[in-house]
Structure formats: structure tokens, C-alpha cells
Amino acid sequence: MAKIIIHQEKCKGCLLCVNFCPRKLIRKSAKLSKQGTNFVEFIAGGQCLGCSQCALVCPDCCIEVIK
Ligand code: SF4
Ligand code: SF4
């Protein structure tokens, strides 16, 4: 099963990845980064397709897909 790693320290919370994930496996975190933005998190237990949509749309290269 594929999975993703989100480099939350770089995430500015634009939510593009949230909107593009076909499985809706990424959500906004309730926590704030040091920059004061809501970063995103992977929903534990989700069935990631490894499609890389989330990584491709991220403007700051915050997401790595592990297949
Ligand atoms: S690789 Fe695809 S299925 Fe997995 S979290 Fe990213 S967009 Fe969603
Ligand atoms: S697309 Fe990148 S910067 Fe935007 S919320 Fe997702 S991980 Fe963060």
C-alpha cells in the first residue's frame, strides 16, 4: 500500500492537495505551524492509491509519495 509523507514545516495550508486527492485522504490539521498556518495531515488508515496527485499539485513540494 502506498503512503505519503507530508513535510508539514513547509506547508502553507493552501489545501490544494486536500481538494485533489481522489480518496479524500488529506485534511487540514487543527494544529498550527510555527508560521501560524494550518498545515495538512494524512488521514491514518486511508487507502492511498499512490497516484501522486497531491504531490504534483503542491506548490511547495511538501509531499513525498512512497510506493
Ligand atoms: S497519492 Fe493520491 S491517493 Fe494518495 S494521498 Fe496523494 S492524492 Fe491521495
Ligand atoms: S498543497 Fe502543499 S502547501 Fe498546499 S496544503 Fe497541501 S501540502 Fe500544504
Instruction: Give the DSSP per-residue string, 3-54.
Output: EEEE-TTT-----HHHHH-TT--EEEEEEE-TTS-EEEEE-TT--B----HH
pLDDT tens-digit readout, 7-56: 999 999 999 999 999 999 999 999 988 888 899 999 989 999 999 999 99
Q: Which domain holds residue 47?
A: 3-66
21 CB near ligand 2 (under 6 Å): no
* pLDDT greater at residue 37 or residue 63: 63
Task: For residue 57, give the CATH number of its domain.
Answer: 3.30.70.20
Cβ contact 24:16 at 8 Å: no
> For position 33, what pLDDT does the model report?
84
Ligand 2, atom 4, residue with closest C-alpha = 14
> For position 26, what pLDDT does the model report?
98
4 CB near ligand 2 (under 6 Å): no
Q: How many domains does the chain have?
A: 1
Is the model's pTM score more than 0.85? yes
